[in-house]
Chain A
Amino acid sequence: MSYNFAYLDEQTKRMIRRAILKGVAIPGYQVPFASREMPMPYGWGTGGVQVSAACLTPDDVFKVIDQGADDTTNAVSIRRFFEKTAGVAVTEKTTEATVIQTRHRIPETPLSADQILVYQVPIPEPLRFLEPRETETRKMHGLEEYGLMHVKLYEDIARHGEIATAYAYPVKVEDRYVMDPSPIPKFDNPKLESPALQLFGAGREQRIYALPPYTKVFSLDFEDYPFDPSKAAHPCALCGAEDSYLDEVIVDDAGGRMFVCSDTDYCASRRETGEAA
């Protein structure tokens, strides 16, 4: 018998598990939970880590990405954390993983029904920058009063000629709750309608929310300014992919730059299988 599988104590996991179940039952609604101190600072994915800890079983294969990459500090440290505390198998391959924790991206490879995607969320409340009071935003969600969000998008158009929100682009879930999909690029928004279960954890803000599989997710827009999941107009400089989200990388001191896939597994496997142009 082993105690403290996946770091958290059992009572904490029960509390998180109850919050996750209510989140799943009310898609897009933010369930408060008693977020714990984790052995990493806020902003490093403490919410996602707690949700992952409550969901992992010893048989899971765990993958962590940070802005699409498996090999950045945040991803490596969280992956090692669960290797050590849960003894789970880990992978960098999207197709091999059963639980994927992510910071700010959805993998390019389509997810399947037997996968869970866990998001790290900094600010779960989509209305927070429009209305700072939690009591008021609660009421606005309760009354489905989302006019302010449309005014914000409209002001984008008035000022920039288009909806300038490029990440954390607000969505409406099942025609009811407006939800922050975490700071994923709006390019990823269409992927929010997925066969996989998606769970969102905000550690500092103490909120958990969820999108069950196949949940209807609508990116807010206007009839004359429809939602546009744009990306940089280049192919990936390494694998040639034209359908993946790209990072712009500065390569010298003379302003030289290149565009490469942000999803490292997608890019690497395309190069391995010779799909690269």
Chain B
Amino acid sequence: MALSEPSVTDTMGGGFANPPRDAAIAFRAALDVMARPGVIREITGGHPPLPLSPAAGSLLLVLCDPETRVYLSPSCDTDAVRAWLRFHTGAPLVAADKADFAIGPWDQLCPDLARMRQGVQDYPDRSVTLIVEMDHLAAEGVRLTGPGIKAEAFLNLPETTAFVANARRFPLGFDTFFTSDSQIAALPRSTSIEGAS
């Protein structure tokens, strides 16, 4: 699925039309997918500049503010995206190893993954949340089991090695949202992954 055309691309547009309401509804989508790995939901309301997807933009509007450090992968690190994010969230833009949220396609985030925050023994929550932009999301591919999953679930992960290693480090590690167009799915560090089916 191709990225849809943002309806507004100028810096000041593209935010939530009704912030308290839109953020509440978008958060429930994000909460639902993080609580049920493999489930794919719609998340809407944000219209960020390309190349960010509406789903990634909506998630950033829900979660980011001056207290969260954001890393933009090279392809997302455009003047338009920087200006939009700064205007709507006020989030400081930082290097990958300092980030609370890191956004980009998997092949650009992956090389920096080892440097990113994975939490510490006493505070495993002090870790990065990845927002991985995907071409499409589908309930197929690797088999997922663990908290939030009744028997099994499937999701088209961009690769398995890094996510298998991440689950082994539990409770340390990173958590991932996958976004495509207006869709969102998630993979917390607690999910066990078994090879592609």
Q: Are A139 and B122 in contact (CB under 8 A)?
A: yes
B122 partner residues in chain A, CB cutoff 8 A: 138-139, 141-142
Q: Are B146 and A10 in contact (CB under 8 A)?
A: no
Nearest Cβ in chain B — how far from A193, in angstroms?
Answer: 11
| 12 contacting pairs across A/B (C-beta < 8 A) | A3-B20, A22-B127, A24-B148, A24-B188, A25-B189, A26-B170, A27-B190, A55-B31, A56-B24, A57-B21, A139-B121, A213-B35
B35 partner residues in chain A, CB cutoff 8 A: 24, 197, 210, 212-213
Q: Are B171 and A26 in contact (CB under 8 A)?
A: yes
Q: Are A26 and B23 in contact (CB under 8 A)?
A: no
A3 partner residues in chain B, CB cutoff 8 A: 19-20
Q: Are B171 and A214 in contact (CB under 8 A)?
A: no
Q: Are B190 and A26 in contact (CB under 8 A)?
A: yes
Q: Are A11 and B21 in contact (CB under 8 A)?
A: no
Q: Are B190 and A25 in contact (CB under 8 A)?
A: yes
| Partner-B contacts on A (CB < 8 A) | 1-6, 10-11, 13-15, 17-27, 29, 31-32, 54-59, 138-139, 141-143, 174, 176-177, 195, 197, 210-216
B170 partner residues in chain A, CB cutoff 8 A: 26, 176
Chain B contact residues: over half helix, strand or loop, or mixed?
loop
Contacts known (A24-B188, A29-B124, A213-B35); A18 close to B24, Cβ less than 8 A: no
Nearest Cβ in chain B — how far from A129, in angstroms?
Answer: 20
Residue from the set B17, B20, B121, B129 with the largest chain A CB neighbour count within 10 Å: B20
- Residue B74 at the A interface, CB < 8 A? no
Q: Are A14 and B62 in contact (CB under 8 A)?
A: yes
A26 partner residues in chain B, CB cutoff 8 A: 124-125, 170-171, 188-190
Q: Are A10 and B18 in contact (CB under 8 A)?
A: no
Q: Are A22 and B147 in contact (CB under 8 A)?
A: no
Enumerate the 8 nearest inter-chain pairs by beta-carbon distance, A residue then B residue, closest first.
A25-B188, A5-B20, A212-B148, A142-B121, A22-B125, A138-B122, A215-B147, A212-B147
A27 partner residues in chain B, CB cutoff 8 A: 147, 190
